[in-house]
Amino acid sequence: MSRAHMSDKDILIFDEPASMLDPIAEMEQFLNIKEKLHGRTAILVSHRVGFARLASRILVLKDGRLIETGTHDELITLDGEYADFFRQQSIWYKTPVKEET
C-alpha cells in the first residue's frame, strides 16, 4: 500500500498484497489502492479472487499461459477457469463451519 502513496510510477505491481489480511481488510485495502491510483495502472497478482470484481480487466494465467481475459461479469458468463475458481473460493464464505465437539 505504501507504494501507491509514495511512488510516482505510471504502473504499480502488487504481488499478493493482502495475503495476510482477512477478506474484509483485504477489500478495504484494494479499495484504498484503487482510490490512490489517480489514473495510474495497477497490476494485482493474487490467488484470492474476491477483489477481482473491482478490476477493469482480469487476466487469468494457467501453466504460464494467458487463458482468459475480461471483466468479472464477462468471465463469469464465460464459465471457464476464472468462474470455477471464483465459485470454489466463494464457498468458503457461504458454508457454515461445523465446530468439533
Mind listing the pLDDT tens digit of every residue in the chain (101 residues)?
565 566 678 888 888 777 777 777 877 877 887 787 778 888 888 777 777 887 889 999 999 999 999 999 999 999 999 999 999 888 766 655 565 55
Q: How many domains does the chain have?
A: 1
The answer to whether position 41 is within a domain reads: yes
Structural domain boundaries, residue 29: 2-94
Q: Chain-centre distance of CA 21, in angstroms?
A: 13
pLDDT of residue 48: 75
The answer to whether position 24 is within a domain reads: yes
Residue whose C-alpha cell reads 471483466 in the numeric block? 71
* Distance of alpha carbon 82 from alpha carbon 78, whole angstroms: 9
pTM of the model: 0.69
Residues 6+ apart with CB under 8 A from 60: 66, 67, 68, 69, 75, 80, 81, 82, 85
The answer to whether position 51 is within a domain reads: yes
The answer to whether position 82 is within a domain reads: yes
